[in-house]
Amino acid sequence: MNQVYICEHNELLSTKFHAPACPSPLIPRPRLTALLDVGLTGPLTLVSAPAGCGKTTLLSSWVQSHAPDNFSVAWVTLDEHDNQPRRFWEYVLTAFDRSEPGIGVLALQLLSAPGKLFLEEALIALINRLARMSSPWVLVLDEYQVIREPAIHGQLAYLVEHLPSHIHVLLATRKDPPLPLSRWRVRGQLQEVRIDQLCATVEEAGTLLRQMVPFKLERSLLQEITTRTEGWLAALRLVGLSLRGRADLAGVLEELAELSYILDYVTEEVLQQQEPAVSTFLLRTSILSQLTASLCDAVLERTDSQQVLEELERSNMFVVPLVPHRCYRYHALFAEVLRVRLEQENGEDVLMLHLRASNWYAQHGHTASAVQHALLAHAWQQAADLIESISQAHPGAIPEESMILSWIVKLPAEILRARPQLSQLFAGGMTRTGGPPAQECWQPHRPLSWMHAIAPFAEDQREISGVQNQHQLQEPVPAQDRVRTMFPSHERPFEGQHWNWGEPEPGLLLLDPLSAREREVIGLVAQGYTNQGIAEALVVEVNTVKRHVGNIFSKLQVHGRIQAVIQARALGLLIEVA
């Protein structure tokens, strides 16, 4: 049962005066504790970063690492109920008094006097009492983002600006408070620790994960995990939990944004803490790789995106400012999780959002991005028009030809067949590159083969180029060769297997048949495609591919890709490859 501290008329929760216990395992972070040590020379240190970046853990471990004679600590963990000035300062004054009885007695008496609230007098009494002391003090106010009362911010600013030199205030918050930070920054009175410093390095991630998983983690894998999470400590801990008992490390990484731990954390600690309008903004703009006010206004059909983006930046809402000014992106993993949640909650809106993004990019002359969003919106005619506009703008050598061919290959055959210019462009590109793009063998939205659509133009291109092999455009590139082209040697998922997939699980009965789309997906898996590659080939969202892969694993009763391919081949669900 929680104890309470009695202060005149109010009962104060005793546990709010204690630094929380540090989680296990704890990562030593001397580079950050050094920043906190430097901050002691000034009146205020601000530790400001999003949820799950390790703010409280850092402060708690730093406080506990110092000997009691280094400085005394008054700690308060704030909550929503502390938005009343009297209650807020009761906690602060009591925190001082608990550490050294008598230090806050006069101030507490003034604060608790009946009738008029003598708050300014109470603060003056505290400052004067602290000034008469010689020993250093640190006041830690954790979770300061819950404080919304303007009067409290003003009173805290007064305290900071009148503190004696041996007293230090340390604020931990998810968003920058409305305090005169710029003035203190210019005066050299503010030490700041932000997300850039709090993000874990590869070495710190390795220290954490090696204590959480029972097997060896190579540095290359640690580097990939750190890159994908961008050093976000909460995500690293949740990845560590997910890796326990999992042999399929690559699968964990591919499914990172869909891990239930991470989904639940972002939902509970971030989205549910926002106003509904802000949550909607976050979810619907997650389809964008870059965020500008004009683009967000167009996609969301609103006019206040600039204010929202600036508030998200001030609130440390996993928003990263880019050059040029007023352009942003979301933290990569955060954006992935948002897209998963968007598809779960409003999947029918995703195509519409991509279409609006395509229209905006086209209107602003960013044709490549317009094409990509048009394809994701399944706006085939619009995508074809945009691709043709690029080829018309460059009638000679077309820049980024491989990228353009990868777009054309995603168009349905009926669209391509009705576009002689694109068909000719595609045939010419294949002739120059020696074959179709790797993804071409699996195009579900095409009832007609692309080969039939471009056959007349392919013949013309062969005559022009002098190609002797008349079967060059008729025989698909063997799957092994496609995989070798797509992946560096160290990333080839089935290298050395020689496409001999082994024996199926004995007694397997496929009670629930694979759908047509699932057969297309497992076919691409067998060819070595990643989820991202499959999404591009099928012109769908990565999250859709992940759901199909999960369904395939369930139906085939397997836990990994290689096992899935073995079972699918044994059941005759795959096209044989040489």
How buried is residue 412: exposed, middle or buried, by Cβ count under 10 Å (0-12/13-18/19+)? buried
Q: Identify which of 217, 86, 85 has the alpha carbon closest to the alpha carbon of residue 148.
A: 85
The reply to whether 374 falls in a domain is no
Domain membership flag for residue 419: yes
Q: Quick one: pLDDT at residue 6?
A: 38
- Number of Cβ within 10 Å of residue 551's Cβ equals 16
Domain count for the chain, please give it: 4
Do 249 and 110 lie in one domain? The reply is: no
Mean pLDDT over residues 167-192, rounded? 95
Question: How far does CA 53 lie from the centroid of its chain?
Answer: 13
In the chain, the percentage of residues whose pLDDT exceeds 90 is 35
Contact (CB, 8 A) for 65 and 28: no
Give just the sign of the alpha carbon dihedral 424, 430, 435, 436.
Answer: negative
Cβ contact 42:190 at 8 Å: yes
Q: What is the pLDDT of residues 120-154, one digit of tens each?
A: 899 999 999 999 988 899 999 999 999 999 999 99
Mean pLDDT value across residues 72-91: 94
User: Do 165 and 111 have their domain in common?
Assistant: yes
Does residue 350 belong to any structural domain of this protein? no
Q: Which structural domain range is residue 519 located in?
A: 480-570
Other beta carbons within 10 Å of 539: 21
pLDDT (mean) for 49-58: 92
Is residue 485 in some structural domain? yes
Q: Is the domain of 442 the same as that of 489?
A: no
At which of 426, 457, 477 does a domain end? 477
The per-residue pLDDT for range 9-43, each reduced to its tens digit, is 457 888 899 888 888 778 889 999 999 999 999 99
Q: Tell me the CATH number at 149.
A: 3.40.50.300
Q: How would you classify the pairing of strands 4-7 and 10-13?
A: antiparallel
**Which residue would you say has higher pLDDT here, 453 or 82?**
82
Indicate if 42 and 170 belong to the same structural domain. yes
Characterise 467 by phi-psi region: left (phi > 0), alpha (psi -120 to 50), beta (else): beta
Both 88 and 28 in a single domain? yes
Asked if residue 11 and residue 116 are part of one domain, the reply reads yes
* CA distances, 272 to each of 141, 268, 514 (Å): 23, 5, 37
Say whether pLDDT at 474 is over 60: no
Residues 190 and 209 in one domain: no
Mean of the pLDDT values across residues 535-546?
80
Rg of the Cα atoms in the chain: 30
Mean pLDDT of the chain: 79
Given 455, 477, 499, the domain boundary residue is 477
Q: Given this model, what pLDDT does residue 536 score?
A: 79
Q: Is pLDDT above 50 for 559?
A: yes
Q: Alpha-carbon distance 250 to 421, whole Å?
A: 41
Query: 51 CB contacts (<8 Å, ≥6 apart)?
Result: 174, 234, 265, 269, 270, 273
Q: Span 338-365, mean pLDDT?
A: 90
Indicate if 150 and 86 belong to the same structural domain.
yes
* Residue corresponding to tokens 């059941």: 571
Per-residue pLDDT, 390: 83
Residue with tokens 């999003």: 50
Phi, psi of 11 (to 5 degrees): -100, 125
**Higher-pLDDT residue of 106, 481:** 106
434: in domain: yes
Same domain, 31 and 116: yes
Do residues 44 and 19 share a domain?
Answer: yes
Shared domain check, 440 and 405: yes
Residue 439's pLDDT is: 41
Per-range mean pLDDT, top range of 13-27, 166-180, 204-218, 325-339: 166-180
Give the pLDDT score at 245.
61
